[in-house]
Amino acid sequence: MEIFKFFEKGPGFWLLLGVMTIILAVIALILKRSSKKEYIGRIIVPVFFIEMAVVFGLLTLTFPNKGDVVGPGVVPGLWIIFIIIFSIVLLMRVFLGYEEIDPPWGHIGKVFIYIGLIVAYLLIMQLIGYFLATILFLITGMYFLTYRNWKVMISMSVGWILFSYFAFYKLLYVPLPKGWIIERIFG
C-alpha cells in the first residue's frame, strides 16, 4: 500500500503520468505501423480510458476501509469496473470489424485549445471557486464551440450551478472549492 501512496502526489504522481503517456505513445506508434492504422483513434481512446481506470483503481486501494461498512472506494470502484468493461467492448468491436474507420482529422488545434481551456478552468476554480469558475467555463466553452444563443447558454450554466448546489453541496455534502479569493473576501 505504501507504493500507492507514493503515486498519489508529488513526484510519484508525475512519474505515473509520464509512464502512462509513454505507454500510450508506444501503442500509438505500433498502431500507426500496423494494419489497424485506420482505426487508431477508435483504439487509442478506449486504451486511454483503461489506463486511467487502472491508475485510479490502484489509487482507490489507499482509501480507508472500515470492514463490512461500504467505504469511500466502492463507488469509484464500480465506475472503474464499468469503464474497463465498456472500453474492452469498444476494442472488441474494432478488432471484430464492427466499427467504421476513423473519420478524417478536422481542426485538431481546437482540441488542444479546449484542453487548455479545461486546465485554465481548474486553475481559476482554485481562485474564484467552483460556482463562478463553472459558469465562466460553460459559457466560454459553448461560445468556443460556436454556440451563440446567449439565453440558452446562460440558462444552461445557471441550471447546472443550481443542480450542482442542491445535488452535491446540499444533498450529498460534497465540499466544492470555494476559491482563494472568495474565501479572503467573504470568509
List, as one string, the DSSP characters of 87-105.
Answer: HHHHHHHHHTT-SPPPPPP
pTM for the full predicted model? 0.59
- Residue 4 to residue 63: CA distance in whole angstroms: 10
Q: What is the mean pLDDT of residues 92-117?
A: 85
Domain assignments of the chain as residue spans, ordered by start: 2-95, 108-186
In 10 A of CB 69, how many CB atoms?
7
Instruction: Encode burial over 40-62: b for 16+ CB neighbours within 10 A, e otherwise.
Output: bebbbebbbbbbebebebebbeb
Contact 59, 4 (CB under 8 A): yes
pLDDT digits (tens, 9 = 90+) for 7-59: 767 788 788 888 888 998 999 899 889 888 888 888 999 999 999 898 888 77
User: To the nearest whole number, what is the mean pLDDT of the chain?
Assistant: 87
pLDDT at 147: 93
Share of the chain above pLDDT 90, in %: 43
Residue-wise DSSP of the chain: -HHHHHTTSHHHHHHHHHHHHHHHHHHHHHHHTSTTGGGHHHHHHHHHHHHHHHHHHHHHTTS---TTS--TTHHHHHHHHHHHHHHHHHHHHHHTT-SPPPPPP--HHHHHHHHHHHHHHHHHHHHH-HHHHHHHHHHHHHHHTT---HHHHHHHHHHHHHHHIIIIIIIS-------HHHHHHH-
- Residue 72 to residue 77: CA distance in whole angstroms: 9
- Residue 66 to residue 131: CA distance in whole angstroms: 33
